[in-house]
Amino acid sequence: EVQLVESGGGLVQPGGSLRLSCAASGFTFSRHWMYWVRQAPGKGLVWLSRINGDGSSTSHADSVKGRFTISRDNAKNTVFLQMNSLRAEDTAVYYCGYQGSGGSGVYWGQGTLVTVSS
């Protein structure tokens, strides 16, 4: 059974940093693109970042470029999202996902809540 378990969310002050983790199991992790998206309270989904199987290729949305960095550790089947210079508008549920085989669709975990507030 495929599982994606996000962790690392919580309350952080504006200007602070947080690193989210997503532990994967049930599939060959190193063969799949991994993704992060977020959803602010009561709002829609926003695409953030993706990384290829060996970690050599990444891309980020313009809205977070330079502040957020996606990375992965294939030995630990884990993908990360390093978030710096956090702002109140970064408050959201953050979901990680993996791209299925044979197509561009993504399967998502249950999410972790990040709250940026003083």
Q: CA-to-CA distance for 51 and 45, rounded, in angstroms?
A: 18
Q: CA-to-CA distance for 36 and 53, rounded, in angstroms?
A: 14
Residue 5: CB minimum distance to other proteins, A:
12
Q: Site for other proteins (CB under 8 A): how many residues?
A: 22
Using the contact rule CB under 8 A, the part of the chain among 7-15, 39-47, 68-76, 81-89 near other proteins is 39-47
- Residue 86's Cβ-side half-sphere holds a number of Cα atoms within 13 Å equal to 23
The reply on whether position 100 binds other proteins by CB under 8 A is: yes
β-bridge partners, 50: 35, 59
Interacting residue with other proteins among 24, 106, 114, 116 (CB under 8 A): 106
The reply on whether position 60 binds other proteins by CB under 8 A is: yes
How many CB atoms are closer than 10 A to CB 66?
9
The Cα angle at residue 24 between residues 35 and 44, in degrees rounded to 5: 35
Instruction: Give the x-and-dash track for 18-37 against other proteins (CB under 8 A).
Output: -----------------x-x
In the complex, the residues that contact other proteins under the rule CB under 8 A are 35, 37, 44-47, 50, 59-62, 95, 100, 103-111
